[in-house]
């Protein structure tokens, strides 16, 4: 869980906080526009620059609405994976999970050099943190 001292910042209807040492935690609330997606990716890239390495993206989409087509295209075309150690997504409807999984598979097929980042849908934030801790342990033991 985030510590009570971790400040949340809003951008539009969404919220963000950085959890040291390396977690970018974003809570989406409502529709995702192109500008929202660009802002989220900018937050992840800025955090990676701040820590001098790759970060985890913990996304809570339990209250997320529709993702606009231009935002989806931006996400697919981006190279955000180069600064990510892994992504855990909390919540999401069947349709949201299906669309995300199809997009990920398409990126991996069309551009295999961008396919190495662990990604998982989970039901709870606690499960997301277990997933992230598992990646950390595997990275440290490698």
Residue 100: pLDDT band with limits 50, 70, 90: confident
Q: What is the DSSP string of 33-44?
A: -HHHHHHHHHHH
Q: Which pLDDT value is given to residue 2?
A: 47
Beta strands in 1-142 (DSSP E): 9-11, 14-19, 23-32, 55-67, 84-90, 119-122
The residue ranking higher by pLDDT, 103 or 126, is: 126
Return the percentage of the chain with pLDDT > 70, whole number. Answer: 88
Residue 84: pLDDT band with limits 50, 70, 90: very high
| Reported pTM | 0.86
The C-alpha R_g of the chain, in whole angstroms, comes to 14
What whole-number distance in Å separates Cα of residue 138 and Cα of residue 142?
6
Torsion of CA 9, 132, 73, 62, to 10 degrees: -60
Helix (H, G, I), strand (E, B) or coil at 120: strand
β pairing state of 84-90 and 55-67 = parallel
Q: Which pLDDT value is given to residue 55?
A: 97
Query: Span 87-112, mean pLDDT?
Result: 77
What the chain holds in terms of domains, given with CATH numbers, is: 10-141 (3.40.50.10600)
Residue-wise pLDDT for 9-40, tens only, equals 999 999 999 999 999 999 999 999 999 999 99
Q: Which pLDDT value is given to residue 61?
A: 92
**Two structure tokens written together for 32:** 């995702």
Q: What is the mean pLDDT of the chain?
A: 87
Q: Which pLDDT value is given to residue 124?
A: 95
Q: Which pLDDT value is given to residue 44?
A: 97
């Amino acid at each position: 869980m985030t510590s009570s001292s971790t400040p949340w910042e809003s951008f539009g209807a969404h919220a963000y906080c950085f959890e040291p040492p390396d977690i970018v935690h974003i809570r989406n609330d409502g529709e995702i526009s192109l500008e929202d997606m660009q802002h989220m990716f900018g937050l992840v890239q800025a955090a990676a620059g701040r820590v001098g390495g790759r970060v985890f993206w913990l996304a809570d989409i339990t209250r997320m609405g529709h993702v606009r087509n231009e935002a989806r295209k931006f996400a697919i075309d981006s190279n955000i994976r180069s600064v990510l150690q892994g992504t855990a997504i909390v919540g999401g409807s069947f349709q949201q999970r299906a669309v995300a999984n199809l997009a990920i598979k398409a990126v991996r097929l069309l551009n295999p050099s961008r396919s190495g980042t662990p990604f998982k849908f989970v039901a709870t934030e606690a499960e997301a943190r277990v997933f992230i801790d598992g990646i950390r342990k595997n990275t440290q033991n490698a």
